[in-house]
């Protein structure tokens, strides 16, 4: 789309949206939500970028194909469930690691890994759909 | 700490899931995807065998996901029935993968064949091994979504036509399933099938149990292709790639049949009289309509589709009788049907390769160019019709015997008549496709499929023969499965009891949360 306003606003908007999506991902991991809603916000950022800058530069900005992102995310989510095998717990049981240098750090857990996986699946799938729709136009 | 052996029930689901994730991440690299796919299905088969052996020796095994105990959380659980079907499913899927190496070209494999097959196998194993009825619905959705993708690989117009019918009717069935589950949850406040078992029996007499049971019969019956909701299957199964049709026919209707058996044996073990009465006549009608439909068809792949419908009727007939011998026959028939449906769809795909089409009227004299295919088709067809010494014979013997003992003469008549019609059908198809002399100037055999296709079909044909001659292992396994279905206390105990321990570890994990 050839709109000067959009093209001027997009770099700032996309950066903010991606930052906010990661904030939501990490904020949400102990609340309901997290990965899914963060992934949707992240995917919207790429969708806006695609509308403003075109498909080719959006693909360059993403570096890897969106479907690969989704696959890696699914892998993260699946493997986060297997980690509990080594701690004698049931499949998908959350495992936390509180490092000695900062015992209050609460992000080093398989639960967050699972949420990151969900985030990547959502970003990959939605951006893939957005690219496919853009391609047809 | 939960018992480590409980992890056995996770692997048949987790392994293809990890494989699917890897193949999605490697999108477009079809060689790597193919290798991962074969490895994942082989590991799933191995995991299933270990699980089956464990369940055979130690009784049912269950694991509460994430340590959240069963009436509230979701448990995976395996008894001989579920574990046995998982093993047969991944064995047949492996052979179909071998077949698909010739059947699909590189472009079709790049279009996501392997990720979708692995997702499908995740869903099938999940459905066979879950102990939670809402989770069962989720696994249905997983298989459904991957089957939509598989259905349109190839991108021909009639494939889209078949896929639209398939997608619409299956989404409708899943919606009805969801409504049935919601009503059940509203009445009992639980979704764990083990917990439901006692709670449904304890419901007050004016609860709408009959309505919910009929809704389950309708929605799962639609999935299983029971008359009168079977019409989507022959309208759709002849359109995708032969390898895809083979895996659909082998597994998807069986997941519906499995779920019907699980729901009616575990959740509604007593009562639900109207649904059970309806089930008898629906089963008989399905057997006969399937066989007649197959006789009326002129396209070999549609003929084979209708025989799948007829087989579903036989399985549900056994469930409707509901005795030990009948459930043994049904379990045996499911195993037989997984093998034989895959074999016949493989054969149909090879016939269309050899003859350059699927219309029976255009096919003739294929015996000359592909004698192997002719013999394999005939043997599998005889097994389908229930002729000894093939594997199709024994389940029908058990079912007819059980039907006579229980006085279910309608089902006995249905099995015998549909068997006779199927025999006619196989004889006619064989005579027209293979024996009839090809008219002069007709094109020669285009391709006999090659060694991989022949090997996969040959392995299934050999399997149906060996299981017919030496049926004791399968009959024993089916007998144990039937006993466990009739007396599910061990299954219920392990789902609810093991979760009491898992609850302790789950609570421990919860305390560690910041």
**CB atoms A81 and B18 under 8 Å:** no
Please list, in sequence order, all residues whose beta carbon lies within 8 angstroms of the beta carbon of residue B359, skipping any fewer than 6 positions away: B298, B299, B300
**Tens-digit pLDDT profile for residues A40-65:** 999 999 999 998 888 888 888 888 99
Which DSSP string do the residues of B41-101 spell out, in sequence order?
HHHHHHHHHHHHHHHHHH--EEEEGGG--TTTS-EEEE-HHHHHHHHHHHHHHHHHHHHHH
Check CB contact under 8 Å for A96 and B17.
Answer: no
pLDDT of A88 > 80? The answer is no
In sequence order, which ranges of B109-240 are alpha helices (DSSP H)? 114-129, 133-151, 157-188, 193-201, 209-224, 232-236
Q: Which domain holds residue B73?
A: 4-504
Judged by a CB distance cut-off of 8 A, whether residue A93 touches chain B is: yes
Question: Who contacts B4 (Cβ-Cβ below 8 Å, separation ≥6)?
Answer: A88
Q: What angle do CA B17, B29, B144 make, to 5 degrees?
A: 40
The CA distance from B223 to B212, in Å, is 17
In angstroms, what separates the C-alpha of B251 from chain A's closest C-alpha? 24
DSSP state letter for B358: S
Look at chain B and report how many structural domains it folds into.
1
Rounded Cα–Cα distance for residues B133 and B259 (Å): 9
- Which residues of B fall within a CB distance of 8 Å from A30? 513-514
Residue whose C-alpha is closest to residue B307's, from B230, B228, B376: B230
CB contact under 8 A, B2 and A88: yes
- How many other C-beta atoms lie within 10 A of the C-beta of residue B324? 16
Helices B80-103 and B324-355 pack at an angle, to 10 degrees, of 0
DSSP designation for B212: H
Question: Hey, are the CB atoms on A90 and B506 less than 8 Å from each other?
Answer: yes
Flag whether residue A78 sits within 8 Å of chain B, measured between CB atoms: yes
A92/A40: higher pLDDT: A40
Q: At what angle do helices A66-82 and B11-25 cross, to 10 degrees?
A: 150
A76: nearest Cα among A133, A21, A123 = A123
Residue with tokens 């090997």: B455
Identify the three-state secondary structure at position B132.
strand
Tell me how far apart the alpha carbons of residues B62 and B125 are, in angstroms, rounded to a whole number. 14
Q: Does A129 touch chain B (CB under 8 A)?
A: no
B1:A75 CB<8 A: no
Q: Determine the pLDDT at residue A104.
A: 72
Mapping DSSP onto H, E and C, the string for B241-260 reads CHHHHHHHHHHHHHHHHHHH
**Structural domain includes residue B71:** yes
Q: Do residues B178 and B259 touch, judged by C-beta distance below 8 A?
A: no
DSSP string, chain A: ---HHHHHHHHHHHHHHHHHHHHHHHHGGGSS-SHHHHHHHHHHHHHHHHHHH-HHHHHHHH-S-HHHHHHHHHHHHHHHHHGGGGGT--TT---B---TT-TT----BHHHHHHHHHHHHHHHHHHHHHHHHHHH-
CA distance A12 to chain B (A): 30
Which H or E run includes B288?
helix B273-296
User: Looking at per-residue confidence, does A100 or B161 come out higher?
Assistant: B161
> Cβ contacts (< 8 Å) between B509 and chain A: which residues?
89, 93-95
Strands B61-64 and B75-78: antiparallel
Shortest distance between the Cα of B129 and any Cα of chain A, in A, equals 14
Closest CA to B127 of B78, B94, B171: B78
Kindly state whether residue B510 falls inside one of the protein's structural domains: no
The 10s digit of each residue's pLDDT in A4-42 is: 888 889 989 999 999 999 988 888 766 656 888 899 999
Answer for the pair A64, A57: CB distance below 8 angstroms, yes or no.
no
Give the whole-angstrom CA distance, residue B14 versus residue B27.
20
- Is the model's pLDDT at A73 over the cut of 80? yes
Give me A124's structure tokens.
Answer: 């990959």
CB-closest option in B20, B63, B513 to A74: B20
Does residue B15 belong to any structural domain of this protein? yes
Please report whether residue B513 resides in a domain.
no
What per-residue confidence (pLDDT) applies to A135? 82
Interchain proximity A89–B1, CB inside 8 Å: yes
Give backbone dihedrals phi and psi of B66, rounded to 5 degrees, phi first: 65, 10
Q: For chain B, which residues score pLDDT lower than 50?
A: 1-2, 498-514
Any B CB within 8 A of A71 CB? yes
Q: Tell me the shortest Cα–Cα distance from B138 to chain A, in angstroms.
A: 16
**Torsion on CA atoms A21, A24, A26, A32, rounded to nearest 10:** -140
Q: What is the pLDDT of residues B117-169, one digit of tens each?
A: 999 999 999 999 999 999 999 999 999 999 999 988 877 888 888 888 888 88
Interaxial angle between packed helices B253-262 and B324-355, expressed in degrees from 0 to 180 and rounded to the nearest 10: 170
Instruction: Give B97 to chain A, closest Cα distance, Å.
Output: 21
Map tokens 């003739």 to a residue: B364
Q: What is the pLDDT of residue B502?
A: 42
- Closest in A65, A71, A96 to B21, CB measured: A71
């Amino acid at each position: 789309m050839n709109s000067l306003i959009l093209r001027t606003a997009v770099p700032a908007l996309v950066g903010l949206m991606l930052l906010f999506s990661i904030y939501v991902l990490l904020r949400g991991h102990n609340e309901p939500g997290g990965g899914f809603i963060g992934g949707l916000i992240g995917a919207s950022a790429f969708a806006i970028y695609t509308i403003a800058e075109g498909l080719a530069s959006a693909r360059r900005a993403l570096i890897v194909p969106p479907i690969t992102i989704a696959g890696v995310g699914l892998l993260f989510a699946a493997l986060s469930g297997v980690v509990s095998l080594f701690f004698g717990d049931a499949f998908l049981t959350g495992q936390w690691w509180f490092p000695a240098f900062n015992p209050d750090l609460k992000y080093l857990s398989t639960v967050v890994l699972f949420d990151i996986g969900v985030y990547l699946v959502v970003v990959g799938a939605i951006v893939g759909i957005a690219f496919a729709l853009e391609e047809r136009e | 700490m939960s018992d480590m052996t409980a992890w056995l029930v996770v692997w048949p689901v987790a392994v293809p899931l990890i494989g699917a994730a890897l193949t999605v991440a490697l999108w477009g690299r079809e060689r790597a995807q193919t290798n991962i796919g074969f490895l994942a299905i082989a590991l799933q088969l191995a995991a299933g065998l270990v699980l089956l052996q464990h369940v055979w020796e130690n009784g049912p095994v269950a694991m509460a996901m994430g340590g959240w105990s069963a009436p509230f959380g979701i448990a995976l659980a395996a008894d001989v029935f579920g574990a046995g079907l998982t093993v047969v499913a991944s064995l047949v899927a492996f052979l179909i993968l071998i077949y698909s190496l010739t059947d699909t070209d590189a472009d079709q494999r790049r279009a996501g064949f392997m990720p979708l097959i692995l997702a499908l196998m995740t869903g099938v194993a999940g459905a066979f091994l879950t102990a939670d009825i809402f989770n069962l619905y989720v696994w249905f959705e997983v298989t459904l979504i991957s089957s939509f993708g598989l259905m349109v690989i190839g991108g021909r117009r009639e494939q889209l036509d078949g896929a639209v019918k398939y997608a619409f009717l299956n989404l409708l069935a899943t919606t009805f399933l969801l409504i049935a589950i919601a009503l059940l949850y509203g009445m009992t406040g639980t979704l764990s099938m083990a917990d439901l078992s006692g709670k449904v029996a304890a419901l007050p007499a004016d609860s709408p149990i009959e309505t919910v049971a009929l809704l389950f019969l309708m929605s799962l019956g639609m999935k299983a292709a029971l008359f009168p909701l079977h019409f989507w299957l022959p309208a759709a199964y002849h359109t995708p790639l032969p390898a895809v049709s083979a895996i659909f026919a082998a597994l998807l209707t069986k997941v519906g049949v499995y779920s019907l058996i699980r729901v009616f044996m575990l959740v509604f073990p007593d009562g639900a009289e109207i649904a059970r009465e309806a089930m008898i006549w629906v089963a008989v009608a399905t057997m006969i309509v399937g066989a007649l439909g197959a006789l009326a068809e002129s396209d070999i792949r549609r003929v084979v589709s209708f025989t799948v419908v007829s087989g579903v009727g036989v399985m549900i007939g056994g469930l409707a009788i509901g005795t030990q011998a009948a459930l043994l026959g049904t379990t045996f028939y499911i195993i037989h049907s997984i093998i034989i449906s895959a074999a016949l769809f493989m054969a149909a795909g090879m016939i269309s390769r050899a003859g350059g089409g699927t219309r029976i009227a255009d096919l003739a004299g294929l015996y000359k160019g592909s004698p192997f295919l002719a013999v394999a088709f005939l043997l599998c067809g005889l097994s389908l019709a229930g002729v000894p010494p093939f594997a199709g014979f024994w389940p029908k013997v058990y079912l007819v015997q059980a039907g006579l003992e229980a006085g279910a003469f309608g089902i006995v008549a249905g099995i015998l008549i549909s068997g006779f019609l199927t025999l006619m059908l196989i004889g006619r198809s064989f005579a027209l496709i293979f024996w009839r002399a090809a008219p002069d100037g007709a094109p020669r055999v285009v391709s006999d499929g090659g060694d991989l296709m022949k090997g996969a079909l040959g392995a299934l044909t050999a399997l149906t023969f060996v299981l017919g001659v030496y049926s004791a292992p399968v009959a024993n396994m089916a007998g144990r499965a039937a006993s466990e279905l009739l007396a599910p206390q061990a299954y219920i105990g392990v789902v609810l009891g093991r979760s009491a321990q898992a609850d302790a570890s789950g609570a421990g994990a919860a305390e560690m949360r910041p």
